[in-house]
Amino acid sequence: MSTVPMGQATGIGSHPGEDHLEAIRVVFGEVPGLPYLPELPARGVGADMVGRTAGLLVDLPVEVQPSGWRLSDRPGRDHQRALDHMRRDLDGLEEIAHDHAGPLKLQVCGPWTLAGAIELKHGDKVLADAGAVRDLTASLAQGVADHCAEVRRRLPGVTEIVLQLDEPGLPGVLAGTVPTASGFGRLAAVEGWRVEESLRLFDAPVVHCCAPSVPFALLRSAGVRGVSVDASLVRRRDDDALGELFEAGMVLFMGVVPGRETRLPGPAAIAGPAVELWRRLGFAPDRLATQVVLTPSCGLAGATPRYARAALAACEKAAQVLRDDPAGGRQAG
């Protein structure tokens, strides 16, 4: 399995404001080891997580209804807006990072969260129909592959694309707590093997889930590259599953900086949750930087531009602690 660079920091994906060029400059300036294409949902329809990803679907056009995104018979204005946002983002990426040589992270909404958010043409959510979920997942996998190929064409110096699937809805899908389109009922729980099968259609993704009850064991069985979580939601009861994840050579993206405005502590304190977890699991300190990436706890869309920059810079400085002195980081943190 391919890996991410040692001891790096990165972001989750979303940024505040509407200036995509400035957001790209901030990302490549503050987390140069593992930069990413930022998302700016404040730009409106088609820039949100669901609409942005729905625009990548192959042969499954979408439109916006009062209830949200829905599959449609043909591409319309909303679908085109999503495509236009992505095209501008890729043009900006090419302009600013044309000489980038190294890995790059791309984020898309994962198939299960997407299926729980998009409605069928005449009925409930896609998640209610197993056949529709299969079609959606296959369409997304092809669309994501095409998207990655387009990025590689525009940035020939990219050595590897780290694909992040955003799946905040996955725990609810597995638990059967996703509401129906009417809101009066709940959709049936999905079997774990179906989730595992779907994730294998993507090229070694990192699965991001900022909700409680992240299914670590299931994700390990699915063979994903890594898991991205909010460190504050990691509990001691997760230690066994996390230990097995690390033993399997996977990477944990730990959200250690709040996504909204706050006073940020020093690098050693920010790195503290990662160092403490590593100590509890009993792994050798020199492995820590090879299997943990530091991030904000979730997206930065709700922050100010100044704080978004500071949060990424703080993650980068904390990652330096993991690279240079993980044991010392524990003592100082």
- pLDDT tens per residue across span 184-234: 899 999 999 999 999 999 999 999 998 889 999 999 999 999 999 999 998
Q: Give the helix/strand (H/E) hosting 229.
A: strand 226-230
Please work out, in degrees rounded to the nearest 5, the angle formed at the alpha carbon of residue 246 by the alpha carbons of 245 and 248. Answer: 70
Q: Which pair of structure tokens corresponds to residue 263?
A: 């006073």
pLDDT at 331 (0 to 100): 42
Token duo for residue 303: 């922050």
Helix, strand, or coil (residue 180)? coil
Q: What is the reported pLDDT for 332?
A: 39
Q: Greatest CA separation found in the chain?
A: 60
CA triplet 244, 246, 250: central angle to 5 degrees? 115
Interval 40-86: pLDDT, tens: 999 999 999 999 999 999 999 999 998 889 999 998 899 999 999 99
- Compute φ and ψ for 256, nearest 5 degrees: -115, 0
Delimit the domains of the chain by residue range: 1-25+225-333, 44-102+110-203+218-224
pLDDT band at residue 330 under the 50/70/90 scheme: very low
CA 61-163-138 angle, to 5 degrees, is: 40
CA distance 157 to 169: 34
Q: Which residues contact 172 (CB under 8 A, 6 or more apart)?
A: 116, 178, 211
Tell which residue, 83, 108, 206, 103, has the closest CA to residue 155.
Answer: 103
